[in-house]
Every structure is written in structure tokens, then in C-alpha cells.
Structure 1
Amino acid sequence: MNSIFLRIYAGMILAMLLVGAFAYGMVQLVNDYRSDLYREQMAHGTFYLMARGLQRQAEPEAQEARRELLTRLMGAEIELRDEHTLELSYRERMALEEGRVVMRVADPRSFADIMFQLPGESRYIYTRMDKVSEQQARATALLLLDELAQYPLAEWDAQFMHLQKQFGYPIARQPLAALRLDTEQRQRLARREVVLALDESPARNRSTVMVYAPIGNTGDALVLGPLVLFDWLPLEMSVLVGVLGLLAMGFVTYFLVRPLQARLRKLDNAVRQLGSGDLDARADVRGQDAIGQLGATFNGMTEHIRRLIESQREMTRAVSHELRTPVARLRFGLEMLADCDDGDERRAKLDALDRDIEQLDRLIDEILTFARLEEGTPAIEFKQVDIQQLFEQICAEIAPISGEHLTLRDATEWLRLGPVQRNADGEQRYLHRILQNLVTNALRYARSEIVLRYYVQGELAVIEVADDGPGIPFNERERVFKPFARLDKSRHRASGGYGLGLSIVQRIVEWHGGRIDVTDSDSGGALFRVSWPREQRSGQHVLGSRGAEN
């Protein structure tokens, strides 16, 4: 995915899915824990009163009768079991020893096994309930009244404070006249019945249940509640999940944008360095996306600017030096011509001046050609070029000027190359210029023979031009491609040329995504080897490719 925005959007969508899954899992986990805690708190007071009533029975028969009474009150079988019959886990055992109610919920819609340890004993109250109904609420009120009946009325307030710690909801004693009940509910209280009142709220989680039971003839009523229905997703949890979701989204967004910002900062620093004149500035922002491509283009542009400036400096120095000699000869020739009276001598000096002017014209033409090549890299339209035809054209052009003592030979085994291998992608006129310059350069130094050769090496097309001249020293082989480069006396400028031909060849080869090397030929002279991809991408630009390499 090369688009930055697509990567960010994809990352954001993935983050949303991950946050949603995390939030859902967290809510489920927290709600499961809260629901277990809610059920245990609601049941704790009831089972505490059941345990107190059972332990008050000293005789086994009385205890059994009490158990049966509790079974009828609760609407579920109440049992007394030993630990080995319950198969308690470590967590359940620890909870029971702490005096808590333990519930094993098989399925929220099925049943639950409820256990509570008798204080100070190794026996446990055990029951299985498939639903919670009004019967359990009324049983709790009756058990609470039974517990209070064991104490004088004066101690009830203290007992209320003690028992309140065992319940997960408020318990209180209030005058009957203070209760907000309708006529039917008051009549039921007068008949000594336990009354349940549901205070319904528009929001289900705000609905509550109140339990009222008359306390004998005291004129008071026992009030249990409000019992708040379980809220599966309270406001606090919704806020918490929302905050955590926003934090997670911000965290993910930060790590998505941070690398992008860092790469843009590197690019900005490189631009600032270049603006301050540092031509070695490079933007280290690798990648295949838009910023990576921009960084590659910037690096290629910087390299191109540096090369242009260096070339301009070298050219300025070299041109001033190269022009000085023919201009000095022209000035000297004009002075000599002014003092010359003989016609033949005057004509000879005019011919010499004409040759110097021609030399200046050729030099200026080479300089202009090199300058045009250095102005920028064209968008080359690569086409299939027949290399055999190109070789035949060059040989036909060079043969008239090679002389009788020099042989130009094509050593390519064309018969072994199929029609496809004989073709390579390139610009016809530029490939012609490469071969022409190399052969012309070899003409200046070859003693008796120049050899051309073409072959295919993997995905590369390779052209070789070899001569049997003095060769190029190893330490001079890199400098030979620099404009106006001067080599040792074995290949000095007396042979002609201005040192621009090989610079032009190198630049064209770079446009084709290739390279040029120089080594020794079999006959001891110089061998120039040009290699480039046989298949090119249409419209390729050297700035992009060079930038990517840098």
C-alpha cells in the first residue's frame, strides 16, 4: 500500500476494530464479575440468617425441622453438606472461609448452585435455585424478623446495625404511617403479609424493589431496600470504556503518524541544509510510498545539482585553459601575418589561422554539447534498437577515416545471437553517440586494430570497444571520464580531442540505467565496456533512479 492516507485509514479502521473487540471483551469480563458479586451480595444476608437459625437448633431433629422449614420458605431444597461432597476449588474454599456466599452459575438462564459455610463449622448450606422470585424476598423478611425476635426490643437498633453489615442493601425499621404505600398494600400489611413494591423507572437500571413486613403489634414495619436491579452497563463503565477507547485510538494514531512526521522532519532538514548551500544534504526517508518517492526524487535532484555545479566549476577552469592555447596561437599568428610580405608565406599562415579557428569551433561545439547534456536528463522514449545494424552503421561511417594502417573489426558472433537477443531497449541516437565516441577515442590511440563486440549477459546488453594502443593506467581509469581530464603522456592530447567524449558517453549510459568500465584489452590497450538493461521501463528518469540508489 503506497498511499499514506490509505495506510492511515486502514490503521484507524484496524484500531477501531481492535478497540471495539477489546471494549466488548472488557465489558463482558467486568459485567460477569459484577454480576457474580451482585448476586453474592444480594444472597449473603439471607444465607447468613439461615445459618444463624440452623445453629440455634441444638438437637439434630430440631435442626432437620429447621432445614425443612427453610426449604419451604425458599422454594428450593436446602441441604447441609460436608466439604468433600461439594468439590470446592481453591478460590471457592477461600471465599467460604472468609464468610462469603459462593455461587456456581451453570448458565445465567439455567440454575445456580449456592453455598455458604456455617460460622465456626465445617458444614455448608447448599441449595440449587433456577430463578429468583418474590418468595425468596418474603423469606428473607421473615428470617430477619425471626432473628430480631431473639432479642429484646431495646436491642433491636444495635442488631439492625450488626445485621446491616451482612446485607448488600439497606434494612431499616420505620413506622407504618410513614410508609408511602397504596390502600391495598396497607391492607396486606394489616393482615400480617409481606409486601413487595416495585418502583418502576423509565430506565430499567433505575427500577428498585422494596420489601415491607409488619413487626408484630409495634406499629412499625421492617423495610428492606431499595433493592436495585443489576445494571449491565452503568454510566461509569460506559464513560470508562469511552475514555479507554479514545486513549487507545489516540495511542494508535500517534504511532501511525509519528513515523510519517519523523520522515517529513528529515525531509525538511535536508531541504534546509540544501538551502543553506550544503550540496551533500540527503533525505534518509526510504520507502515506496509518496514520501519515500519524494525523498528519492529530492536526493536525485540534490545529486544532480551537485554534479552540475561541480561540472560547471571544472568546465569553467578547463575551458579557460583550453581556449588559452588556440587564442594565443591566433594572436601570435596575426602578429606574424602583419609582418609577413611574401604571398605564399602569408597564405600558409592564413591556413594555420584557419586551422586554429576550426579547432576553436570544434572545441566550442564539444563544450556546448556537454553543456546541453548537463542541463538535465531527458525522459527517454525507449525503443528496440537493432545492435547489429548499429555496428554496421558505425563501421561504415568510421572506415573512411580509419586509414589503411588501422583495421576496424566487428568480433561479434551474430549467428549465435537470436533476433531477440540482437535487440536492446534504448534511444537510437544516444546509443549511436556512445559507440561513435568510443570508436573515435580508440582511433586516436590504436596502433593497428580496433575490435567491437556485442553480447548478452543475463538481463544486460554489453558493448565492448577495444584497441591495441598504450592503454590506460589503473590509477587513471576513474579520472578518464571527467571533463577535460589530462592523462599521462602515453595518451595525451597531442593525439587530438578535448577530454569531453568519454564524459558524454558516461552521462548517456547513466540515462540508460547502465554503467561504463575501462580495463585492459587482450592486446594490452584499453577496453571500454558498456552494459545496460536490455528491457527498460518507458519514461524512466534518471533523477528518480539515482535518488533511490542514494
Structure 2
Amino acid sequence: MKKVFFAFYFFLIFSLLFVQFILGPAIGKVAEVYLQDAIVEYNRQLAKGAFHMIELDLLRLPRNEWKNRIQELEPQFGYAIGLFEYSELELADENLDQLRQGKIAVVDEGELLFHQVGESEMVLGKGPFSGLEPESGFFNLVIWLAITAIVGILTLIWIIPYWRKLRRISTAATAFGNGDFNVRADISKRSSLAPIALAFNTMADRIQQLINSHKELTNAVSHELRTPLSRLRFGLEMLETSENVENRAHYARELQIDVTELEALVSELLTFARFDRERPELQFGFHRLEPFLHQLLAESIPDECPIRYQMHNHLDEHSDKARFEPKYLARALGNLIQNALRHADRHIQVIVERNGKECTIHLDDDGPGIREPDRQRVFEPFTRLDASRSRMSGGYGLGLAIVMRILKWHNGQVTISDSPLGGARLTVSWPGFSE
């Protein structure tokens, strides 16, 4: 806390000194340049009455008594006054012209003032005035000591709660670095440090999510790879021991199937890990939905597939364009279509709707459906449900997790409900329309 206190304290003190002794005088000099005429006139007005009274007093006396009278009057003034002839004055021509015109000549920024006495050739002078200022060195010292003390107290009052909040963030960061991934910085939203605490908490949430995801992925990968690797090991043993040509060919085909399954699993794992780790560069734009979905269905469903499909587009021609990222939305919808194909009996359908700014796509199948208690859990990675939705029908439990991630990039969501066809309805929605 000492470093923060002294840094802020000395910054304030040096700022005050800078304003007092550098910026203030500089502004004064600039003001004098721009207000010079006004300052001269101000000094004339201040001296006008005194000059007039002295002149009236002198003009009542013979001229040879004027200097004696000035000497008598001088003690009554707090500054020097004198009577001079023009030849004694070392003034600029401008000042001499002012005197002969009956004006008051202001010299040395008001330190000296001169005025001609009546119609005579004598000039009455006043000043200098600088010696009249009181000695203020000790007083200024006391004032500055008081200012530094007050600034120190106010700084301390401000810095103590500020430091405590910094300590909370520092303590949370240290604990997080030591492995306590549940710790967060508890700072009031009204605090000036709230953005820092929010950034730390957001970072901590993300890191904790990545660590948990890494643990889940590691555990799941070891579990998922165990079965195909066991089958590969068993197949290799059978291939080595079998002498029958047909059996060896059969085991070779089984090995090829297992290798293909491993390749698909690794590809799916890498895709999920990439999507879970970072957000790719997304190319959002407005695209027509009907041709996009027709092409996607044609690419996802082979001609020899026994499952029939229908698409119902409830959008008119003027509202058929929605904002989305075509590459990744196609990946998400492709996963949903493959999911529907695996579990449908004979039929699936795609329905496109608009609800205000929301674009909604329903994918229905006539399969066994998904029980309501499992509808949230099914989006967790590596989650498989009952036997009707097992890996024997394809998939590794990552497809819907990937769909969920892609819809989050679109600020949307994916939900599961009962399909009017009797199976499961998977609905994706996102703010795809501007109005």
C-alpha cells in the first residue's frame, strides 16, 4: 500500500506545485499580454484621485514651494512620491507624449506612475509600489505544510478502501494461480475497480471451463478409444493365428472398419476440442434460407436412404434472407439432420419459421424420441441415452455438443421437445432478422 499511497500522494503534490509556480505564473504572463491595455487603464483609474488631490494642493502654492510641500506630504503616503522636471525623466517617447496630453503615464507594469502638474513643466511621480507587499515567506510555508497534510489525509482516506479492493483481486489471483479454480474477486459493481474484477472473473470462468472440459475430454477419450483399440488388438491376434483365407479376409475387413471408426472418432474429438477451445473467425452475412437448406438436405441425405424428408418454408420471399455464418450453421444443422436420420423410422421433416427477429428451424423425426429428463443432458459431451440412441446407430455423443457451441456463436439456442411426427423435435433459433 505504501507504494500506491506515495505514488499518488507525490503526484498530487507535484501537480499542485506545478499549478502554483509554473502554470499559474505562465497564465498570468499570457493574461498580461492580452489584457495589457486594460491593466494600464486600471492603474490610471486607481491613481487618478491621488494625483488630482496632490495637484490641487500644489497649485495653491508658489511653484518654488512645491518640492518642500511634496516632502511634507510623502510621509502621509505608504510609497514614494516626487516632483521632477522633464529633463530628469528617462521615459519612452510614448510616455512623454501621454504626459504632455495630460494623461497618466504607467511605467514598468504599474510600478511607476507619472502625471504633469497643471500646465507647468513639472511632473509628479509615484512609486515604486513593490516594497509595500508584506513578507509572506513564513505564511506561505505554513500554508503549503497545511496543504500537504490535508492532501496526505485525503489520499489516505481514499487509498485505504482502494487498496483493500486491490488486495481482494490480488488474493483471488494468487489463490487461482495456486489451483483454487473456484475463487473469484468479490468487488462491488459501483467500484472503479469493477471492470478489472469482472475481467479477472471472466478469465477465471473461462479457464475453469477449459480445465473442466480438458478433464472431461481426457476421461472420455480414454473411454472411447478403449473399445475400438481392444477390437483392433483382438482382430490382430485372430489375424495372426488364423490360417483360413476367408477368415483372414474377414478379420482384415473388421480391422479396416475399426480403423475407420477410430479416424471418425479422432476427427470428431478434434473438432469438438477446437470449438470448445476457441472461437474461429466467423463470416456472418445475410443469406437465403430455402436454397441453403435444400442444398444441405441434398448433401446430407443420400438418394438410396430409405428415410424420406419434407421441408416446409413458412417465410415469404421478402423475409427469406437471414443473418448467419453459412459454414458453421451448415455443420450444426448437418449434425441435427444426421441425428434425425439415425433415429427416424421412415420420415423426417424440416420447418422454417420467423418469430419477430428470431429465425427458427425445427427438425422432426418419427423415431423413439427423447425423454424429458434427458433433454438437457443430451447436449453434454459424450452423452448417449438408451439403446435406441446408442453408438451402434452411429455417433459418439459429440454432435449435439457441437451444435450447442455453434448456436452460442449465433447468440441462439437449441432445444428439444416432442415432435408432431411422434419422435423428437430439435429446434434451433437465433436472431437472424434485423426487423
TM range (shorter): 0.5 to 0.7
Across the aligned residues of Structure 1 and Structure 2, the Cα RMSD in angstroms comes to: 4.4
Q: Which residue is 2:284 aligned to?
A: 382
What whole-Å deviation, never above 9, does each CA across 1:457-516 have from its counterpart, x for those lacking one?
333332222222212222222221122113223422221111111111112222222222
Residue among 293, 305, 321 paired with 1:422 = 321
Q: What is the total number of aligned residue pairs between the two structures?
A: 321
Cα–Cα, structure 1 residues 242 and 300, in superposed 2: closer, same or farther, change >3 Å?
Answer: same
Cα–Cα, structure 1 residues 535 and 379, in superposed 2: closer, same or farther, change >3 Å?
Answer: farther
**Amino acid paired to 1:422:** K
Bigger relative contact order (CA 8 A; separation at least 6): 1
**Amino acid paired to 2:295:** Q
Q: Following TM superposition, by how much is the alpha carbon of 1:362 offset from its aligned partner in structure 2, in angstroms?
A: 0.9
Q: Which residue is 1:407 aligned to?
A: 308
Q: Following TM superposition, by how much is the alpha carbon of 1:434 offset from its aligned partner in structure 2, in angstroms?
A: 0.7
Determine if contact 1:469/1:526 at 8 Å carries over to the other structure: yes
Q: Which residue is 1:200 aligned to?
A: 78
What whole-Å deviation, never above 9, does each CA across 1:253-274 have from its counterpart, x for those lacking one?
7787777656544433332232
* TM-score where L is the length of structure 2: 0.61
Determine if contact 1:286/1:296 at 8 Å carries over to the other structure: no
Q: Following TM superposition, by how much is the alpha carbon of 1:386 offset from its aligned partner in structure 2, in angstroms?
A: 2.8
Q: Which residue is 2:293 aligned to?
A: 391
| CA distance in 2: counterparts of 1:401 and 1:291, whole angstroms | 61
**Amino acid paired to 1:386:** R
| CA distance in 1: counterparts of 2:388 and 2:281, whole angstroms | 39
Structure 2: stretches of 5+ with no match in the other structure? 1-7, 17-68, 70-74, 81-133
Q: How does 1:50-449 map to 2 (within 5 A)?
A: 200=78, 243=146, 247=150, 251=154, 264-284=166-186, 292-400=194-302, 403-404=305-306, 406-415=307-316, 418-419=318-319, 422-424=321-323, 426-449=324-347
**Amino acid paired to 1:447:** D
Q: Which residue is 1:532 aligned to?
A: 430
| CA distance in 2: counterparts of 1:408 and 1:257, whole angstroms | 68
Q: Following TM superposition, by how much is the alpha carbon of 1:393 offset from its aligned partner in structure 2, in angstroms?
A: 1.5
Q: Which residue is 2:410 aligned to?
A: 512
Cα–Cα, structure 1 residues 361 and 422, in superposed 2: closer, same or farther, change >3 Å?
Answer: same
Q: Which residue is 1:500 aligned to?
A: 398
**Amino acid paired to 2:201:** N
Whose Rg is larger?
1
Residue among 448, 460, 472 paired with 2:370 = 472
Determine if contact 1:402/1:443 at 8 Å carries over to the other structure: no
Q: Following TM superposition, by how much is the alpha carbon of 1:391 offset from its aligned partner in structure 2, in angstroms?
A: 0.6
Q: Is the partner of 1:471 in helix, strand or coil?
A: coil
What whole-Å deviation, never above 9, does each CA across 1:109-136 have from its counterpart, x for those lacking one?
xxxxxxxxxxxxxxxxxxxxxxxxxxxx
* TM-score where L is the length of structure 1: 0.50
Cα–Cα, structure 1 residues 306 and 236, in superposed 2: closer, same or farther, change >3 Å?
Answer: same
What whole-Å deviation, never above 9, does each CA across 1:198-253 have from its counterpart, x for those lacking one?
58389xxxxxxxxxxxxxxxxxxxxxxxxxxxx9xxx98997899589848974x7
Q: What is the aligned-residue identity percentage?
A: 37
What whole-Å deviation, never above 9, does each CA across 1:358-407 have from its counterpart, x for those lacking one?
11111111112112223322343422233223211111112316722x12
Q: Following TM superposition, by how much is the alpha carbon of 1:314 offset from its aligned partner in structure 2, in angstroms?
A: 1.5
Q: Following TM superposition, by how much is the alpha carbon of 1:285 offset from its aligned partner in structure 2, in angstroms?
A: 5.1
| CA distance in 2: counterparts of 1:256 and 1:401, whole angstroms | 74
Q: Is the partner of 1:400 in helix, strand or coil?
A: coil
Q: Which residue is 2:389 aligned to?
A: 491
Q: Following TM superposition, by how much is the alpha carbon of 1:290 offset from its aligned partner in structure 2, in angstroms?
A: 9.2
Cα–Cα, structure 1 residues 402 and 272, in superposed 2: closer, same or farther, change >3 Å?
Answer: farther
Q: Following TM superposition, by how much is the alpha carbon of 1:524 offset from its aligned partner in structure 2, in angstroms?
A: 3.3
Q: Which residue is 1:168 aligned to?
A: none
Cα–Cα, structure 1 residues 402 and 366, in superposed 2: closer, same or farther, change >3 Å?
Answer: farther
Residue among 454, 458, 480 paired with 2:352 = 454
